[in-house]
Amino acid sequence: VLSAYDGTIETADIAPESPRPSGPDPVLDRSVPVLTSAFVSYVREELKFRTDLSYRLLNREISGNWDYGTSPTRQGYVGVMDDLQQARALNPGLGVLIVNGYTDLVTPYLAS
C-alpha cells in the first residue's frame, strides 16, 4: 500500500484478498502521535492554554460523516479563494505560497 502523502513509501497490505488496498497509511498514521504531542506541548507551554479536553489531530468520526456536496445538506469542500482574493485586493503586496510534493498523491504536483 502506497502512502497517499508520499508515493515513494509503502507498507504491506493487511487484507491482500480485498479488491481495495487497506491498512494504515505509512506516513500519516506514523506522524499523528508525534504531531499531536508537539501541538499539545506548544499549546500548553507557549500559549499557556489548559483544558481537560483531549486533542484529536484527525477526527475520523467527523471526517467520515462529512458531506462533500452529494446530499441535500451540501456541506461541500472547504474553499478560501474568495477570502484570498479579498485579502490580496486589500493588500496588493500579500504573497501566496502554494506548496506541492512531487510524490504527494493527495495534492499532486501542479494540481493546485
Q: What is the full DSSP assignment across 6-53?
A: -TT-B---S-TTSSS--S--TTHHHHHHHHHHHHHHIIIIIS----SS
pLDDT grade for 73, boundaries at 50, 70 and 90: low
CA atoms within 13 A on the CB side of 12: 2
Beta bridge partners of 2: 10
Name the pLDDT band for 7 (thresholds 50, 70, 90).
Answer: confident
Greater confidence (106 vs 6) lies with 6
Mean pLDDT of 24-51: 93
Q: How confident is the model at residue 74 (pLDDT cuts 50, 70, 90)?
A: low
Q: Are 24 and 2 in contact (CB under 8 A)?
A: no
Domain boundaries, the chain: 1-66+75-111
Residue from 109, 93, 103 nearest 5 by CA: 103
Distance of alpha carbon 39 from alpha carbon 58, whole angstroms: 13
